[in-house]
Amino acid sequence: MTTGRSSILERATAIISAFDGRTSQLPIGTIADRSGLPRSTAHRLVDQLIQLGWLVRTAHGYCLGPRAARTSSEKDHMHLRAAAAPLLQALHDETGAVAHLGVLHGDHVQILDKVSGRHAPAVPTSVGDRLPAHATAMGKAVLATVTPEDADAIVPRTLGHRTARTITSRTTLHAELANVRARHGVAYDNEEFSLSVNCIGAPVRSPGAAPSAISLSGRTPPEVLARAVPLVREAARRIEVRLDRNGMSSPSAESTASFVGADLTMLRVLNTVDAHDWL
């Protein structure tokens, strides 16, 4: 009985492994070829995997279902968090502001990580929170990486507001995203998500990684927080390097000191700011 169960699991695993990320849809013949199974066996197991939610039938074959997609997403998020963790800590250590990592889920940004120290109550967010993309620096940073048509497909037709400053017009949002692109991806949230809280964000671009971004937030004047833009952009770039270098596998440890020490010019920007001006 155990051998039979193992055989079924091995065959099911071979079928799911046939979807290697190079294509989202496969015909049954390709699934059979890649899994090394007879076509009739592959077809029978595919039907069972559809019933269990691991695969779904499409107009052109089959693709991974919600259970497989959820597992893949959680794994990718783990690698993204590992790559970003030391850079978020460095940003927080150097500025005192709250550092976030978020990933786009539909028309919201889900917070994957937050480094805040004693300033946590100053920024009303928690790991796992889902924030409207159009009202946050992280969300706008990610939306600016796609075409206006794709952005329209992502955001809701009616943009909800969190504060009086929240963008609620699609026309205004597109103008803002154009400004973000002109700033090479840097996005701002000036009390648009939460009153008295300002934020700057930058996208994290890496093949195979979920659409994501990092940010610095605090009860800090926008013009003061903006002086950390070079640091945020450099941190995002370094996260991309870590992800690319490790092919979305768990990145090796990289000291925070090495990140800080390699960018003395960037840190001199912060030296022009009185520490009490930050938070």
- What does the pLDDT look like over 45-66, one tens digit per residue? 999 998 888 888 876 788 877 6
Residues of the chain with CATH 3.30.450.40: 74-277
For residue 250, how many other CB atoms are within 10 A of its CB?
A: 11
Q: What is the pLDDT of residue 122?
A: 82
- In this structure, which CATH number among 3.40.1160.10, 2.40.50.100, 3.10.105.10, 1.10.10.10 belongs to the domain 2-64? 1.10.10.10
Task: Look at 115-124, 190-199, 216-225, 231-240 and tell me which has the smallest mean pLDDT.
Answer: 115-124
- The reported pLDDT for the residue numbered 193 is 96
Alpha helices by DSSP H, the chain: 2-17, 28-35, 39-51, 66-95, 137-143, 148-154, 170-182, 222-225, 229-246, 256-261, 264-271
Q: Which residue has the higher pLDDT, 166 or 248?
A: 166
Question: CB atoms < 10 A from the CB of 229, how many?
Answer: 19
Report whether 101 contacts 231 (CB < 8 A).
Answer: no
Region 146-172: mean pLDDT is: 93
- Is residue 86 within 8 Å of residue 219, measured between CB atoms? no
Overall CATH class of domain 74-277: alpha beta
